[in-house]
Amino acid sequence: MSLVSSIIDPKTRIGKVIVFLAVLILPMIAISGTLEVYSNVRHSVLFSPRSPTPYRFSYSVAIEVEDPVPYTIYLPTLVREDEMGPVQEMLDIEFREGNAEVDLIETEKGHALRIESADSIELYFSTTLDEMEVPPIPGPNMTMMLSNSDSEVSYYAYLGSETDNFEAELSLRYEVDYRSSDIEEFSVVNIDQHLEIGWNVLEGRYYPP
């Protein structure tokens, strides 16, 4: 019998050894290949980038004044993550009561929404935002922020008028409504404050706390 025949013949000692090794090794190779495929699939699932989730942001302002005197108010506005300035869409704010002129400006305290009027007014703004440009975090994404905690946030605001004793009542509210496949976030900040001439500090609270 030739050497090749003795190797492939399962009745010989060499053949039996070859058959034994084949029975032992081949399943291990198959299992290894399966684990590698599973590992590649799992790695792809865990580390594949998630598509950005759009979310809703709304912002409402009510200002009450007793005297029809021209005044100017600077309020916090929404800012982009890349620090390229405030969200320009804020200029599309809707007038629900009264008349006013609005603009986005730079102040010593940061970017602000400037409102000029002589009436009591109500303004409302709502838009869809990209979480990659403006993350859905209600407090820190607003300008002129003074402090921020889990339940409270404070901002600067400015009131100006030619009348020295001019005063106004401000109601400011903004909401973040963010819903993705694995996260739901709904946050509201409410601010009700009496404003006097000059810089004021707005004290707001988060809901839910």
Kindly state whether residues 28 and 82 are assigned to the same domain: no
Kindly state whether residues 159 and 194 are assigned to the same domain: yes
C-alpha Rg value of the chain to the nearest Å: 33
Coil, strand, or helix at residue 145?
strand
Kindly state whether residues 34 and 101 are assigned to the same domain: no
Kindly state whether residues 35 and 66 are assigned to the same domain: no
Kindly state whether residues 88 and 145 are assigned to the same domain: yes
Say which residue the tokens 């390229």 belong to.
Answer: 84
Kindly state whether residues 58 and 38 are assigned to the same domain: no
Kindly state whether residues 102 and 60 are assigned to the same domain: yes
Kindly state whether residues 129 and 110 are assigned to the same domain: yes
Kindly state whether residues 163 and 119 are assigned to the same domain: yes
Task: Name the DSSP class of 81.
Answer: T
Q: Which domain holds residue 96?
A: 54-207
From first to last of its 209 residues, the chain has per-residue pLDDT tens of 544 455 445 555 555 555 555 555 555 555 455 444 333 333 333 333 445 567 778 889 999 999 889 999 999 987 765 555 667 778 788 889 999 999 999 999 988 999 999 999 999 988 777 665 565 555 557 888 888 887 888 999 999 999 888 999 999 988 877 666 566 666 788 899 999 999 999 998 877 65
Q: Are 80 and 89 in contact (CB under 8 A)?
A: no
Question: Of the residues 32, 47, 62, which one is the last residue of a structural domain?
Answer: 47
Kindly state whether residues 37 and 81 are assigned to the same domain: no
CA distance 34 to 178: 39
Cis peptide before 208 (omega within 30 of 0): yes
Q: What is the total count of domains within the chain?
A: 2
pTM (predicted TM-score):
0.68
Q: Are 89 and 113 in contact (CB under 8 A)?
A: no
Q: Are 143 and 79 in contact (CB under 8 A)?
A: yes
Kindly state whether residues 129 and 27 are assigned to the same domain: no
Kindly state whether residues 21 and 83 are assigned to the same domain: no
